[in-house]
Structure 1
Amino acid sequence: MHIGIDCRLPYYQMGGISQYVLHLLPALAAADVENRYTIFHSRKDGRSHTPPAPNFHRTNLWTPCHHRLERWALSVELLPRGLDVLHSPDFIPPQWGAKRRIITVHDLNFIYYPQFLTAESLRYYADQIGWAVRVADHISADSHATRQDLIDKLNVPPQKVTTIHLSVNPLYQREYTEVEIHETLVRHNLPRGFILFVGTLEPRKNVPTLIKAYYQLRQETAVDVPLILVGGKGWIYDDIFATIDALNLREHVRHLSGIFDEQLAHLYHAAGVLVTPSHYEGFGLPALEAMNCGCPAVVSNRGSLPEIVGPNGVMVDDPDDVSTWADILHRVLTDSEMRAEMVENGRSHADTFSWEKAASLTRQLYNGKS
């Protein structure tokens, strides 16, 4: 069987979807030596994301991601390839190009919270999603929550969508020496025990609420650790920095971008707590990364986060409740018994997620089983 996987997106952006496909590929290569795989890269991408396996091959495509004519242009490029299956990890398949089309839907935030997207992004995704789920032969969803969203919001038949949980970069599953962690802290002038947020700075992540909770924490308790925001600037993020300025927190809230892989793992190991106050998450990868590294996770009780973290972390029912966030952060940072229990349970729970499982289930979809 000839299977194609669309791997153009990593050239354009290295967000969660790109991380998904880049970690799925080597797991598939380890699990499947029978089928033939063609990994489609952007012609501009000088890096190779294709595993060094004899049945995996790279091919370049001209069609850019998220172009208004993408479905048709991609079809023209793919038709001569003779694909039995095409997997579109960014959920938008070509008009034609394979006998079977499988898509992965990571979340439906643009349906639940359209106000959190730019007009251009909203128009693009809203125009594509209904068509994509209709023409796809099967759909994988990152979480049970996203699977149920597809059924409830887009009337996808339950038998057409399968939950396949993601896992983390293996770098978050290894142990690091105190020297390695200390070097990263020195490089960024950070103490241990800070409050950590990881994610793109965008409205859905609800960062201003976290900043207000941090301000209240500093005003009402003796906690004196910085708040570290790790992630690139996405869109509509000015209110984040306006909130920092309004509360006179410039000396206590820091934004770090360009932090990836081992450095981020070091920060998870050194942090006192990871906070994910999002209004909606299709998976919530930072929470799983943190638990792998022994960092307690405090998350909003929204989207997939209860499923990913569950009783192994602490959940806040109302993402906009500043006082509750402040109270819980104080407890996690000062209650050593509570923290130790969260660390132990979080690590055990995180071990149940693996790319080997994800690859096995994905391969079943390629073979027509669900």
Structure 2
Amino acid sequence: MKLLFDFNSLRPPRSGVGYYTQHLLEGLLEQNDVETIAGWVGSNVYEGRDLSALMCDQTALGKAAQFSKGMKATLLRAARNVPGVYKTRTLVRNIASASLRKDFAKRGYLYHETNFIASPYRGPSVVTIHDLSHRRHPEFHPRVAVEYLDDGLPRTLAQAQVVIADSHYTKKEIHEIYGLPDEKVVAIHLGVEACFQPRSDETCADVLSALGLKYRGFVLSVCTLQPRKNLRRLVKAYACLPETLRREFPLVLIGADGWMNSELLRDIEPLASAGQLIAPGYVSRVDLTHLLSSAAVFAYPSLYEGFGLPVAEAMASGVPTLSSNVTSLPEVSEGAAWEVDPYSVDEIAHGLERLLEDSSLRDELVIKGLRRAAQLTWAATVEQTSNVYRSVLA
């Protein structure tokens, strides 16, 4: 098999789609029947050693931190609302890569677009759709982003021979919204990186000390600060906990600043002033894994997820997890998380209090979570994706 990718998703700041692309590439390079892998960024082609260098660029995380705050982050957020910005960016990228895509198609490459909207391609193609939140909850996204996806997805879905969905829930969404036949959409779960694992107090001490935290002494949530992650209800629920619990277990919100979060920031302020909430923003991947394995409880009451990888990563880290009972999240946890109605502040608060006060329940969820997370591997994701390629090329 000869495979082609758009590597723009590997650019910093690298998002979940970027990590998905990287893990696929790492696994595909080990497949015996993969003859070669190539891709582009702008008009530049990456393959062989150049591709390996691109994947191993350790400066990406440092650059990502620069975009999480300050003037660059402000300008990037403002740019999301400029009419035509997404279409213009896509047009520029398509023009830059048009001739090379034409050449790869002639040479028999299968093109896999891992980031929703595929570039025009005359050869066989596959696309991954991670979620359809822009259709179910357009109010959670910048208007120009919704328009961009609404405009590009129908063409992309018509072009692709097979559509990969991150979950059976997302597969169902694709059927309901776009009417694709069952045989054209394949559900393939994501995997959990080996770096997400239980760690000891001693291993995590330096990272915890930098934030003034204690091992198993805080509630953690990790996500971009945006509306569909439901952080306002989480913060309100946490504020309902007895003060003794809030003093013992501060709430830590890890994630880059997002959009439409001015009300969230106002909600945070009283708890932050009381020393009961910490929002350090973006942290490195290494620090994140140490914080995740140190938390007393991981809270992720998201309103909508196409998969919900943070839940799987938390369970793999040996942390009892509170999650939502909607969209794909029950599919990910399979009963290994404490599920709540994400629209109920009272239910979220009750779940947090129960988990923080009941050590036997926490221990039970840790065992279940580790067992479930072990079933979600990137090796399985890569093998199932390779099977999709083989079916297209057969």
TM-score, normalising length: structure 2: 0.84
Q: Which amino acid aligns with 2:28?
A: L
Does residue 76 of the first structure (1) align with residue 77 of the second (2)?
A: no
8 A Cα contact 2:127 2:163, kept in partner? yes
8 A Cα contact 2:334 2:372, kept in partner? no
Q: Which amino acid aligns with 1:28?
A: L
Does residue 121 of the first structure (1) align with residue 145 of the second (2)?
A: yes
1:137 matched residue in structure 2: 161
What is the CA distance between 1:125 and its match in structure 2?
A: 1.2
2:117 matched residue in structure 1: 92
What is the CA distance between 1:340 and its match in structure 2?
A: 0.5
Distance 1:316 1:30, change over 3 A: same
Q: Which amino acid aligns with 1:50?
A: L
Q: Distance in 2 between matches of 1:17 and 1:34?
A: 22
What do residues 19-38 of structure 1 show as CA deviations (whole Å, max 9, x unaligned)? Answer: 11111111111223542211
Distance 1:49 1:139, change over 3 A: farther
Does residue 217 of the first structure (1) align with residue 218 of the second (2)?
A: no
Where structure 2 has 5 or more consecutive residues not aligned to the other structure, the ranges are 56-84
1:60 matched residue in structure 2: none
8 A Cα contact 1:171 1:261, kept in partner? no
2:70 matched residue in structure 1: none
1:59 matched residue in structure 2: none
8 A Cα contact 1:217 1:223, kept in partner? no
What is the CA distance between 1:221 and its match in structure 2?
A: 5.8
2:337 matched residue in structure 1: 313
Q: Which amino acid aligns with 2:18?
A: S
2:211 matched residue in structure 1: 188
Distance 1:331 1:249, change over 3 A: farther
What do residues 230-260 of structure 1 show as CA deviations (whole Å, max 9, x unaligned)? Answer: 1111111111111123667552211122323
What is the CA distance between 1:51 and its match in structure 2?
A: 4.1
> In structure 2, which of residues 252, 263, 268 is the aligned counterpart of residue 244 of structure 1?
268
> In structure 2, which of residues 351, 356, 377 is the aligned counterpart of residue 333 of structure 1?
356
**Structure 1 vs Structure 2 CA RMSD:** 2.5
Distance 1:28 1:132, change over 3 A: same
8 A Cα contact 1:25 1:50, kept in partner? no
Per mean C-alpha deviation after superposition, the further-off stretch among 35-44 and 186-195 is: 35-44
Q: Distance in 1 between matches of 2:108 and 2:267?
A: 51
Distance 1:290 1:247, change over 3 A: closer
> In structure 2, which of residues 303, 316, 319 is the aligned counterpart of residue 279 of structure 1?
303
Query: How many residues end up aligned between the 2 structures?
Result: 356
Q: Distance in 1 between matches of 2:34 and 2:375?
A: 27
Distance 1:322 1:49, change over 3 A: farther
Of all paired residues, the percent bearing the same amino acid is 29
Q: How does 1:251-270 map to 2 (within 5 A)?
A: 251-270=275-294
8 A Cα contact 2:219 2:251, kept in partner? yes
Distance 1:326 1:266, change over 3 A: same
Q: Distance in 1 between matches of 2:235 and 2:6?
A: 38
Q: Which amino acid aligns with 1:89?
A: T
Q: Distance in 2 between matches of 1:122 and 1:95?
A: 20
Where structure 1 has 5 or more consecutive residues not aligned to the other structure, the ranges are 57-63
8 A Cα contact 2:170 2:306, kept in partner? yes
Distance 1:321 1:161, change over 3 A: same
Does residue 37 of the first structure (1) align with residue 37 of the second (2)?
A: yes
What is the CA distance between 1:41 and its match in structure 2?
A: 3.6
Per mean C-alpha deviation after superposition, the further-off stretch among 12-21 and 241-250 is: 241-250
What is the CA distance between 1:297 and its match in structure 2?
A: 1.1
8 A Cα contact 2:247 2:276, kept in partner? no
Per mean C-alpha deviation after superposition, the further-off stretch among 290-299 and 213-222 is: 213-222
> In structure 2, which of residues 314, 318, 325 is the aligned counterpart of residue 290 of structure 1?
314
Q: Which amino acid aligns with 1:180?
A: T
Distance 1:221 1:91, change over 3 A: closer
What is the CA distance between 1:176 and its match in structure 2?
A: 3.5
8 A Cα contact 1:70 1:94, kept in partner? no
Distance 1:301 1:109, change over 3 A: same
What is the CA distance between 1:136 and its match in structure 2?
A: 1.0
TM-score, normalising length: structure 1: 0.89
Q: Which amino acid aligns with 2:355?
A: V
Distance 1:222 1:7, change over 3 A: closer
